[in-house]
Amino acid sequence: MACSASACQSNCYKTQQEEEEDVKDNNNTNSFAANISSSNNNNSNSGLCLKCKANKPISSNSDGGDDARFCIDCFRGNLFGKFRFAVNSNAMIAPTDNVLVAFSGGPSSRVALQFVHEMHSKAQKNFDACRDRSLPVFGVGVAFVDESSVYSVPSNETDKVIGDVRLIVENLAPPSKELYIVPIESVYSSDSGDGRVRLKKLLDAVSDATGREDLLLHLRMLALQKVASQNGYNRLLLGSCVSRIACHVLSATVKGQGYSLPADVQYVDARWEIPVVLPLRDCLAKELTMLCRLDGLKTVELIRSPCTGINGLVSSFVTLLQEENPSRECTIMRTAGKLIPFHFNKIEEIDDSNVLLATRRRQKRYNLKSNESFSSESFCFICNSPLSRSDLLSLKNLESHKTSSVCCSSCQFQILPQDPSSVNELYTLLPEQLFARAKHDNLDHYSALREQIQDCLLSEGEDET
Ligand SMILES: [Zn+2]
Ligand SMILES: [Zn+2]
């Protein structure tokens, strides 16, 4: 039997009450952070950390940043508190889970890796201290997507980056974590010829700079999903932070992805074979970079070109907004957060006797109710966005299209060539996995959907007007 918190002194798992206190604590921390600017003036005079009121703040500059308000411990505690709250209240990681952390080498995913590692170490300590070791400790692995083939980087530079990534993962305290170096061209099956050449041809076939970047982003996710699935992971953890998501909100708006946007801004995204979780959704890029600096967390220079096109424009626009008012990114995120999420924006409820009752209860309480979410059964075969009715109606005749190759309007405009003959050529360059996934996702729902929109479809020979 599992040891219950009341009987075991090793604090293996917290009681329901303690969990609630934790959550309350954290809410206080969050609202505390939000209210700081108003109380800043009163407290700055004392020259002490606003939270503990005992230690000196990290720095004495007067730009109103976190380093001027918090001491190191409170700053770190506040950030970890946001992470832990996101993980716990969305049931992101259960004791039986196997979590793959996507590590790009940048500050956000470096902090994500560190926090998961700390959580893992603590769970392991509790496990070791507990006499009855019936409860498992979740597993952790790390994946790094090597995109050097896309950017034609000299091999010695790539080797250095990969060496640095290895060092970072090896230097985390034991137990050691499996590291997967995933070449981006691994999205192609090994028997489909030279993946590097095919990938290069594919990207060259997309003339729009924004489309190329977006396609690469989708391929990166495909590569991560593949490595997670092949190695027995059941969660993919990304380091996406507020700043990153705020940029996505604006660029998605510009690209006409309004319908699918709510799916991308939640803590959990289970439309994928391996559900994706975003525990740093409430942290700012600036905070995460600062933590890396303060704690000496080594990061790696990314092998990526700077964004161009819509993504680049939006990113510099958000940076400008943020300079003018440091809460802009959070405001964008909160606004988008009001959109109704989809049914897949939650972890399926666990029905496993291994999982503690407290975890299950917590899950029930914080998870979305079905009447508070949208359901969508068809997905874009390129980017996996849920498709709206109008996306489907825009296909003049549903049956003339292969059911596995229906795509959203954004992919249609940004990625697919305008000339129909080039479209077919591009299709031959796309990874087979995309078509397989779409077939699996869409096929069952297609006939039902066709029936649903029957009246709006044009029959053979019927004119559009
Ligand atoms: Zn403090
Ligand atoms: Zn799409």
Give distance in angstroms: CA of 58 to centre of ligand 1. Answer: 9
Residue 133 within a domain: yes
Which CA distances in Å does 109 have to 84, 98, 183, 297? 15, 18, 18, 11
What's the CA gap between 165 and 105, in Å, rounded? 7
Q: Does 238 lie in the same domain as 136?
A: yes
Which residues are CB-neighbours of 295 under 8 A, at least 6 positions away?
A: 76, 114
**Are 288 and 408 part of one and the same domain?**
no
Q: Can you give the pLDDT at residue 18?
A: 44
57 lies in a domain?
no
> For residue 37, is it within any domain?
no
The ligand whose atoms approach the alpha carbon of 407 most closely is 2
Nearest to 217 by CA among 225, 207, 205: 225
Closest ligand to C-alpha of residue 66 is: 1
| pLDDT score recorded for residue 265 | 94
Rounded distance from Cα 56 to ligand 1 centre (Å):
7
Distance 249 CA to ligand 2 centre (A): 15
For ligand 1, the distance from its centroid to the CA atom of residue 81, given in whole angstroms, is 14
Report how many domains make up the chain: 2
> What is the predicted pLDDT for the residue at 262?
93
Residues 159 and 289 in one domain: yes
pLDDT for 20:
44
- Average pLDDT, integer, range 78-94: 92
At 130, the pLDDT band (50, 70, 90 cuts) reads confident
3-state secondary structure 48-116: CCCCCCCCCCCCCCCCCCHHHHCCHHHHHHHHHHHHHHHHHHCCCCCCCCEEEEECCCCHHHHHHHHHH
- Give CA angle at 416 (248, 198), nearest 5°: 100
**Which residues have CB atoms below 5 A from the ion given as ligand 2?**
380, 382-383, 385, 407-408, 411
Please enumerate, as own/partner, the contacts of 264-269 that have beta carbons within 8 Å and a separation of 24 or more: 265/333, 265/336, 265/337, 265/339, 266/341, 266/345, 267/86, 267/90, 267/92, 267/345, 268/90, 268/92, 268/345, 268/346, 268/347, 269/344, 269/345
Ligand nearest to the CA of 73: 1
Q: Please, how many CA atoms are within 13 Å of residue 81, restricted to the half-sphere of its CB?
A: 19
pLDDT in tens, 328-347: 999 999 999 999 999 889 88
| 319 C-alpha to ligand 2 centroid (Å) | 26
For residue 282, give Cα distances in angstroms to 57, 165, 243. 22, 25, 9
pLDDT digits 0-9 by tens, 134-167: 778 999 999 999 998 888 788 888 899 999 999 9
- pLDDT tier at 178 (50, 70, 90 boundaries)? very high
Q: Determine phi and psi for 120, rounding to 5 degrees.
A: -65, -45
Per-residue confidence (pLDDT) for residue 42, from 0 to 100: 44
Give the number of whichever ligand sits closest to the CA of residue 50. Answer: 1
Domain end call among 308, 339, 372: 372
CB-facing half-sphere around the CA of 89: CA atoms within 13 A:
20
**Ligand index nearest the alpha carbon of residue 54:** 1
383 C-alpha vs ligand 2 centroid, how far in Å?
Answer: 4
User: What Å distances lie between residue 74 and 48, 58, 88, 90, CA to CA?
Assistant: 12, 10, 20, 24
What does the pLDDT look like over 371-422, one tens digit per residue?
Answer: 555 666 788 889 999 988 777 776 644 444 555 578 888 898 899 988 888 8
Predicted pLDDT of residue 373: 59
pLDDT higher than 50, residue 34:
no
Residue 351 and residue 210 share a domain: yes
Ligand 2 centroid – CA 451 distance (Å) = 23
Mean pLDDT on 339-367: 67
Per-residue model confidence (pLDDT) at position 274: 94
Least confident range of 22-31, 124-133, 238-247: 22-31
Say if 115 falls within a structural domain: yes
Per the structure, the complete domain to which residue 438 belongs is given by: 389-456
We report the CATH number of the domain holding residue 248 as 3.40.50.620
In whole angstroms, what is the distance from residue 13 CA to residue 361 CA? Answer: 14
Q: What percent of the chain has pLDDT over 70?
A: 74
Spatial distance between the Cα atoms of 65 and 59, rounded to a whole number of angstroms = 9
> Exposed/middle/buried for 55, CB within 10 Å: 0-12, 13-18, 19+?
middle
Burial class (CB in 10 A: 0-12, 13-18, 19+), 179: middle
User: How many residues are listed for the chain in this entry?
Assistant: 465
- Of 372, 398, 431, the domain-final residue: 372
Residue 363 counted as domain residue: yes
Query: What is the 253 CA–ligand 2 centroid distance (Å)?
Result: 14
Residues 308 and 200 in one domain: yes
Interval between CA 107 and ligand 2 midpoint (Å): 28
pLDDT reported for residue 4: 39
Confidence of residue 26 (pLDDT cuts 50, 70, 90): very low
C-alpha to C-alpha distance for 103 and 388, rounded to whole angstroms: 32
Residue 57 confidence (pLDDT) = 86
- What rounded mean pLDDT belongs to the chain? 80
The residues that bridge with 179 in the sheet, in sequence order, are: 142
CA of 91 to the centre of ligand 1 (A): 29
Residues 238 and 278 grouped into a single domain: yes
Whose structure tokens read 């975003």? 278
Give the CB-side neighbour count of residue 273, counting CA atoms within 13 A. Answer: 20
Which ligand has the minimum distance to the alpha carbon of residue 58?
1
CA of 267 to the centre of ligand 2 (A): 21
* Domain match, 221 and 276 both: yes
Same domain, 427 and 361: no
Whether residues 393 and 364 share a domain: the answer is: no
The dihedral over CA atoms of 437, 443, 448, 451, expressed in degrees to the nearest 10, equals 110
What mean pLDDT do residues 234-253 have? 95
- Specify whether the CB–CB gap between 8 and 130 falls below 8 A: yes
Give the confidence band of 456 by pLDDT, cuts at 50, 70, 90. low
For the whole model, what pTM was predicted?
0.82
Q: For position 12, what pLDDT does the model report?
A: 39
Residue at 450 is within a domain: yes
The residue out of 372, 407, 441 marking a domain boundary is 372
Whether residue 21 lies inside any domain: the answer is: no
Q: pLDDT tens digits for 50-82?
A: 889 888 888 876 666 677 888 999 999 999 999
What six digits make up the tokens of 157? 């530079």
The verdict on 400 and 450 lying in the same domain is: yes
**27 in a domain, yes or no?**
no
Rg (CA), the chain: 24
Taking only the tens place, the pLDDT of each residue in 405-418 is 788 888 988 999 88
Q: Is the dihedral of CA 145, 149, 151, 156 positive or negative?
A: positive
Query: CA–CA separation, 444 vs 459, rounded Å?
Result: 22
What pLDDT, on the 0 to 100 scale, is given for residue 403? 53
Nearest ligand to the CA atom of 69? 1
Residues 308 and 416 in one domain: no
Residue 23 pLDDT: 44
- Say yes or no to pLDDT of 323 above 80: yes
The predicted pLDDT at position 161 comes to: 93
List all residues 6 or more positions away from 101 whose beta carbon is below 8 Å from its beta carbon: 109, 112, 113, 116, 140, 141, 142, 143, 237, 239
CA distance 414 to 214: 8
Instruction: Kindly state whether residues 131 and 272 are assigned to the same domain.
Output: yes
C-beta pairs of 439-442 under 8 Å, 24+ apart in sequence: 439/403, 439/404, 441/377, 441/378, 441/379, 442/377, 442/378, 442/379, 442/381, 442/403, 442/404, 442/406
**pLDDT at position 241 over 90:** yes
